Copies of this chain bind each other. A is one copy, B any other.
């Protein structure tokens, strides 16, 4: 007969004194314990295990690395900056360490892989586990891939959207009409939001804009806006800005609006994957949580844009409008030309320069960016009931031309914490035309890739500055664009790519 020993519930956990190791691991919480320490030995922990760490009411799931020398003592644990911050510790505190609960929601992902659909309850349990940090990169990547490999059906998109809203915060406003705008993206430099919001707010309408950072593009609106003003505002600050100015342009991830989205974005970026159902849930969960009632969706269509054909645009538009309607949001899609980049700059600071030129009515301001912003602002004015259909664009242009939009933009930046000057790059190199001829094609995807290799969006000043447009006549050696970088290695990396891809900007001999 077997020996019986007293049993402790694993969930009770062991306690260890902690210190901050001084290691930045980004989003990933890491705990370092000595391989021979009593906790590792008695619990059977091995390196790369995921452990539940608790301190008071706070908890986090961390990856274990095991120390084999005297870097840390047997009776202590050391934490990465991310784990330390989330547990709000001070040196000498103790934490409880245990196995996390089994990840029950993984069975839903397996079920979907094997051909079944996901119920609203299943999607909520997956999304809650994601937001609670229970999913490793392996689990997150499998969820995203499983949802992309067999498209989410309408019910699943509704369920995912609702789940993403439910696990985060929601904003509400003292206004009957709360306007919002979203660009489906895929078009480098399409940075209209910082122009539209001040136009709308200057006209007395309410437009509390929460924007995202880049997913697979070289800059998101939040990345660009951040070079001109702080964007990581807390909810009370956002309310203060909007009450005072009627609008704001802030990062949606700094407040907990659809926080799962921000976790999934990192994985989608690593996979360069952005499927339709998840795109709809991602876009609309932010809008629903933001308390929007009326929404304009800007959808550039072109062979190298994110949406490549009229048919794809129609399908995606139908999905977005239907799902928005199910949540009480009146949405309208404005499909536009997506065959070439908008403006001159691609990358956070370079796009900010274009935005400022339009708002300041400089002679060199890119007309295509201004025109697109005016068209979208016009649609919002009509949706907001301030102008009849067909009359909104003229009202928007007037607001821009008489300086009210620029005045309002400065006031919004001040209210968000102070206006900034976008940074300049320290390393630049032009791409020169290899022959005399006519600029033919500009490959949006390759231009975006070049800007990312140069460091965008992490390096704010990095990106591409376009000097020509399709149709321009150029001569051999004339710069077609300039690559901007903040680090020599990144510039070199981008130039290597440019050398290997002569079709980024195609020049046809005449």
Chain A interface (Cβ within 8 Å of chain B)?
1-5, 7-11, 14, 21-28, 30, 32, 35, 41-44, 46-48, 65-71, 80-81, 98-99, 102, 106, 109-110, 112-114, 136-142, 144-146, 148-150, 267, 270-273, 275, 427-430, 453, 455, 458-459, 465, 479, 482, 484-493, 495-497
Contacts and interface: CB of A to CB of B under 8 A. Distances in A.
Nearest to A68: B22
A35 B26 CA distance: 12
Most B CB within 10 A of own CB, among A27, A43, A484, A493? A493
Nearest to A273: B110
Given A145-B141, A479-B2, A48 B67 contact: no
Contacts of A46: 26, 458
Contacts of A144: 142
Contact of A137 (B23, B80, B138): B138
A421 to B, nearest CB: 19
B139 A271 contact: yes
A67 B455 CA distance: 21
A173 to B, nearest CB: 36
Contact of A146 (B10, B80, B112, B149): B149
A483 B361 CA distance: 77
A448 to B, nearest CB: 13
B41 A487 contact: yes
A7 B492 contact: yes
A372 to B, nearest CB: 26
Given A26-B46, A458-B44, A8 B428 contact: no
A490 B267 CA distance: 32
A489 B142 contact: no
24 contacts: A2-B479, A2-B482, A3-B428, A5-B429, A8-B488, A8-B492, A24-B35, A24-B67, A24-B68, A30-B65, A42-B488, A43-B487, A43-B488, A43-B490, A44-B489, A65-B80, A110-B272, A138-B138, A138-B141, A138-B267, A139-B141, A142-B144, A145-B149, A149-B149
B271 A138 contact: yes
Given A10-B492, A68-B24, A427 B5 contact: yes
Given A43-B490, A113-B149, 19 more contacts: A2-B430, A2-B479, A4-B430, A8-B488, A10-B489, A10-B496, A14-B489, A23-B32, A24-B47, A26-B48, A28-B48, A42-B489, A43-B487, A43-B488, A44-B489, A102-B453, A109-B271, A142-B273, A146-B149
